[in-house]
Amino acid sequence: MPADSLLSRSVSRPLGEATLTLNAGLAHDPLTRAIAPNIAMSVNNAFTPGEGGFSADGVADLTSLPFLYAGWTNPTVRQLELRIAALEHTDDALATASGTAAAAAVFFSLLKAGDHLILSDVCYAGIHELARKMLPDFGVEVSTVNLSRMDDVVAAIRPNTRLIHAESPCNPLLRLTDLTALGAITRARGILLAVDSTFATPVATCPIDLGADLVIHSLTKFMNGHGDAMGGCVAGPKALVERIRSRAGVYLGATLSAQNAWLIMRGLDTLVVRMRAMSASAHTVATYLQAHPAVSGVIYPGLESHPQHALACAQMRLAGALITFQVRNPDAVAMRLAQASSTFDYAFSIGHQRSLAVFLKTQDLLNSSFELSPEQLADYRRYAGDGVFRLSIGLEDPQDLIHDLEQALSA
């Protein structure tokens, strides 16, 4: 019996996003009728000889086969993949052990020696370093471009350009990429467009609807939403995802565990309500910060002061839960947030149900992660100056968050 046949749940009409987060890919247990998804912990599955589905060229469509081995497909992980595909308006999805593993799956499955990758000049550090430091060792050319400037994108395209990797909003600047405009450029030239939409989530933006070919997420962040499980995914057309699955899903070994898939699905149940609540709170906090005399700059897509606010309104249904801001005495503010806040945890990462704060020094990021041209550096500093506080707003009462920020900023 094909893997997907156990996991589909027929509906007679299109479902809303809140319903999809709960029900997409979900099927009651055929024996117990349990409503909650099972955790299929077995690594091995019994099968009948001849059902393996292998060919001389490698592995066939794994999702059309019986479940065989958890390193390739797993019932719990497959439920998660189907739910993500439904949320992102795609045919299929591949779940991986982390967000960086999902990007690696795309890069190493779709690029070969002699190909050219265009990468957002500012994006998640792990993906930036993977592309800049590892792909050239395999003969892949990499260029970094400010993807908010379409003229720069067109100028960077070469005859061997095969893929553009974008991130919107990007980490940590919260700069946006016009995905509709970029998608028109890539489609006209036969170039694939992959968009890391971790910061937006499908509640705010569905990149496939705007012209992307693939959507990447770190499921560790908002999709899981509880800070207790790592995961990643890439979603897109069936043929493209299957190409990635048959290569990276089998040979790179970045398999998502059934336990983590179950935890992430539990988080997805509340994704819509969490994102709506956190986005509303973030807007309240950002408005407060913008008016504070100790704050020299605030970047939040929901504020009219954001350099791309009009694009945010057109491209994002919610402005999101992330804020960056600058102050004149960051070291003192960081210490007070780390030692005296009752609501913010001073920690890396984002998307937790609890609010997180961290100070990101521009020079530290340049030394460890980003290699920017003088023009790219000037644009980075336009958003970030010498460094920014990045707030990931959680589910606390926003007035309590503001109280702690006031203490940190005014002491």
pLDDT of residue 292: 97
Confidence of residue 11 (pLDDT cuts 50, 70, 90): low
Average pLDDT over residues 152-157: 98
Average pLDDT over residues 231-242: 97
Identify the CA nearest to 78 among candidates 68, 284, 218: 68
Residue 81 has pLDDT above 50, yes or no: yes
Q: Architecture of 3-268 per CATH?
A: 3-Layer(aba) Sandwich (3.40)
What pLDDT, in 10s, does the model give residues 319-332?
999 999 999 999 99
Long-range Cβ pairs for the range 47-50 (8 Å, 24+)? none
pLDDT of residue 365: 81
The 3-state DSSP composition of the chain as helix, strand, coil percent (nearest 5) reads: 40, 15, 40
Confidence of residue 411 (pLDDT cuts 50, 70, 90): low
pLDDT of residue 139: 98
pLDDT of residue 180: 98
Burial class (CB in 10 A: 0-12, 13-18, 19+), 322: buried
pLDDT of residue 17: 78
By percentage, how much of the chain surpasses pLDDT 90? 76
Q: Quick one: tokens of 374? A: 């003088």
Identify the CA nearest to 290 among candidates 280, 279, 269, 304: 304
**Domain range summary for the chain, segments of one domain joined by +:** 3-268, 271-410
What pLDDT, in 10s, does the model give residues 48-76?
887 665 554 555 678 888 888 888 889 99
What pLDDT, in 10s, does the model give residues 364-382?
888 777 788 888 888 888 8
> Prior bond to 169 cis, omega within 30?
yes
Q: Is the pTM of this model over 0.85?
A: yes
Residue 9 has pLDDT above 70, yes or no: no
Confidence of residue 23 (pLDDT cuts 50, 70, 90): confident
Confidence of residue 118 (pLDDT cuts 50, 70, 90): very high
| Stretch (H or E) spanning 59 | strand 58-59
Mean pLDDT of the chain: 91
pLDDT of residue 7: 45
pLDDT of residue 55: 53
Residue 5 has pLDDT above 50, yes or no: no
pLDDT of residue 57: 54
Confidence of residue 220 (pLDDT cuts 50, 70, 90): very high
Residue 6 has pLDDT above 60, yes or no: no
Confidence of residue 89 (pLDDT cuts 50, 70, 90): very high
Q: Tell me which DSSP letter residue 297 carries.
A: E
Q: Quick one: tokens of 348? A: 């890396």
Please determine, looking at this structure, whether the domain spanning 271-410 carries the CATH number 3.90.1150.10: yes
Residue 257 has pLDDT above 90, yes or no: yes
